[in-house]
């Protein structure tokens, strides 16, 4: 990436860590073998692949053979939903990857509160005797809000116990798409209390189109992609060895530095937030101020056309996301901001600023100054 560019969109994509790239490299060339081939060099590739899955599993407190490697998070979510079937409960702030799949099932979409939190109470109220799956993302991709998954898990467990007591064998599982939180918050599956978990390498400085679905041993998955029977028959197709090795390396690295990185990002984010809020007293910060991803800032400047700011910032080398409508999204307002009841003129002035490994004190300060300048300029132009 151009060194002069300031990247503030880590929630959309993260740059591949050089150590991840290094770990992946051999599997494109020297160790290109098909892991299913019978000779020793291929067997070594198979071992490396299994070891990578084992490492990945360890970062979430699972076992390697409980993982199904997929081409990204969307496929993982599809596999989870389609395997379980039945009535599903999810929330109105979920990612399209969840909401669109939910539409193919009998579903209840619960409402998040105005801070973007999905409470265990609304989940409990939405569960019916036919509910087989509850799916709530660990952290919201727009607001950065971290959900009370353990409370939700308790609600699901209570329902499960009730069913067993009355001899009802209908299973009920909790799934979470943890793509946005991985590397930043604890995603240990037993501590979260989930039965299924989705991850995406592309969000943790690993390669894109690499993801996984972890499912607890008591969960029965059904394959969506048929063929040679790889991944215990649950996801056929020659294994993406390089991608999986890279994913594993990325998760390992994230795990190691998590404590310090979280503190660092939080500080940078809080500084950035303070600078912008001080400069614009009418700015609105959305999401939960405490239960929020450390590098995440969703901020709205009422009356401003955020997309103009995105383009103006782009010309000055600062890359940010609009927090809501943008032409590339066909002009539709963000369903998340509508869900939390943000007024249209506030929603349309939203920026999503997400810090990460490329963020430094220096470039974040620089970005703050440029953002302030451009917003002042835009307000002057609009009022002229």
Partner 1 sequence: MTKVYVGMSGGVDSSLTAALLVEQGYDVTGVYMKNWTQDLPGMKCPWADDLADAKRVAVQLGIDFKVFDFENEYKHKVVDYMIDEYKLGRTPNPDIMCNQEVKFKLFLEAALEDGADMIATGHYARVDSGKLKMAADENKDQTYFLYRVTGEALRKTLFPLGEFTKPEVREMAEARGLFTAGKKDSQGICFVGQIGIREFLTQYVEQKPGAIIDKHTGKVLGRHDGAIFYTLGQRHGLDLGGGLPYYVVGKNMDKNEVYVTTDLNDSALWSGNVALESVHWINSQPGEGTYKIRIRHRAVLEEATLFFKDNAVRLVLAHEQRAVAPGQSVVIYDNDTVLGGGIIASAGSQV
Interface residues toward partner 1, by CB under 8 A: 307-308, 311-312, 314-315, 326-331, 381
Q: Which residues have a Cβ under 8 Å from the Cβ of 91 and sit 6 or more positions away?
A: 109, 110, 111, 112, 118, 122, 136
CB 81 within 8 A of CB 215: no
Q: Pseudo-torsion of CA 374, 375, 376, 377, nearest 10°? A: 50
**Beta carbon of residue 245, minimum distance to partner 1 (angstroms, whole number):** 34
State which residue, 117 or 312, has the beta carbon closest to partner 1. Answer: 312
- Find the shortest distance in angstroms from Cβ 368 to partner 1: 20
Q: Smallest distance, Å, CB 29 to partner 1?
A: 35
Q: Are 31 and 44 spatial neighbours (Cβ–Cβ below 8 Å)?
A: yes
Q: How far is the CB of 383 from partner 1 (least distance, A)?
A: 12
Closer residue to partner 1 in complex, CB, 251/325: 325
Tokens at residue 188, please?
A: 């240990």
CB of 328 to partner 1, least distance (A): 6
Closest approach, Cβ 358 to partner 1, in A, equals 23
**Which of these is catalytic: 57, 122, 221, 326?**
326
Question: Which is closer to partner 1, CB of 40 or CB of 328?
Answer: 328
* Of residues 9 and 261, the one with the C-beta less far from partner 1: 9
66-69 CB contacts, 8 Å cutoff, 24+ apart:
66/214, 66/215, 66/216, 66/217, 67/212, 67/213, 67/214, 68/212, 68/213, 68/215, 68/221, 68/231, 68/232, 68/234, 68/235, 69/210, 69/211, 69/212, 69/231, 69/235, 69/239, 69/240, 69/243, 69/244
DSSP string, 122-191: HHHHH--TTEEEEE--SB-TTT-BBP-HHHHHHHHHHHHHHHHHTT-----EEEEE-TTTTTTS---HHH
> Which residues partner with 240 through β-bridges?
none
Q: Is 326 a catalytic residue?
A: yes
121 vs 314 by CB, closer to partner 1: 314
Of 190 and 329, which CB lies nearer to partner 1 in the complex structure?
Answer: 329
**Closest to 368 measured CA to CA, from 262, 281, 260, 280:** 280
The residues annotated with a catalytic role in the active site are 326
């Amino acid at each position: 990436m151009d060194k002069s560019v300031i990247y503030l969109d880590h929630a959309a994509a993260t740059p591949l860590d050089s150590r991840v790239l290094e770990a992946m490299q051999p599997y494109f060339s020297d160790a290109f073998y098909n892991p299913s081939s019978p000779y020793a060099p291929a067997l070594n590739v198979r071992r490396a692949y299994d070891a990578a899955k084992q490492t990945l599993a360890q970062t979430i407190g699972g076992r390697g053979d409980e993982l199904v490697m997929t081409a990204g998070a969307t496929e993982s979510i599809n596999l989870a939903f389609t395997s379980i079937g039945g009535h599903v409960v999810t929330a109105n702030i979920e990612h399209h990857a969840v909401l669109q799949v939910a539409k193919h099932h009998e579903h209840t979409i619960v409402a998040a509160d105005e801070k973007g939190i999905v409470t265990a109470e609304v989940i409990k109220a939405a569960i019916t005797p036919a509910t087989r799956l509850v799916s709530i993302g660990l952290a919201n991709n727009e607001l950065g809000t971290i959900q009370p998954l353990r409370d939700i898990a308790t609600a699901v467990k209570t329902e499960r116990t009730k069913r067993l007591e009355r001899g009802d064998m209908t299973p009920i599982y909790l799934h979470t798409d943890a793509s946005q939180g991985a590397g930043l918050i604890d995603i240990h599956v037993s501590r979260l209390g989930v039965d299924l978990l989705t991850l995406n390498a592309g969000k943790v400085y690993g390669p894109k189109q690499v993801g996984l679905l972890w499912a607890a041993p008591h969960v029965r998955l059904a394959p969506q992609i048929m063929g040679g029977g790889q991944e215990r028959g649950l996801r056929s197709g020659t294994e993406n060895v390089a991608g999986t090795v890279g994913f594993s390396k990325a998760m390992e690295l994230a795990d190691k530095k998590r404590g310090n990185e979280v503190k660092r990002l939080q500080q940078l984010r809080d500084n950035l937030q303070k600078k912008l809020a001080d400069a614009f007293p009418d700015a609105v910060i959305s999401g939960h101020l405490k239960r929020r991803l450390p590098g995440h800032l969703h901020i709205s400047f009422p009356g401003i056309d955020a997309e103009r700011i995105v383009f103006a910032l782009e010309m000055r080398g600062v890359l940010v996301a609009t927090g809501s409508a943008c032409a590339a999204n066909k002009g539709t307002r963000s369903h998340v901001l509508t869900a939390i009841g943000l007024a249209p003129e506030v929603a349309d002035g939203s920026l999503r600023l997400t810090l990460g490994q490329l963020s430094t004190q220096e470039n974040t300060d620089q970005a703050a100054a440029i953002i302030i300048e451009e917003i002042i300029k835009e307000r002057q132009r609009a009022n002229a």
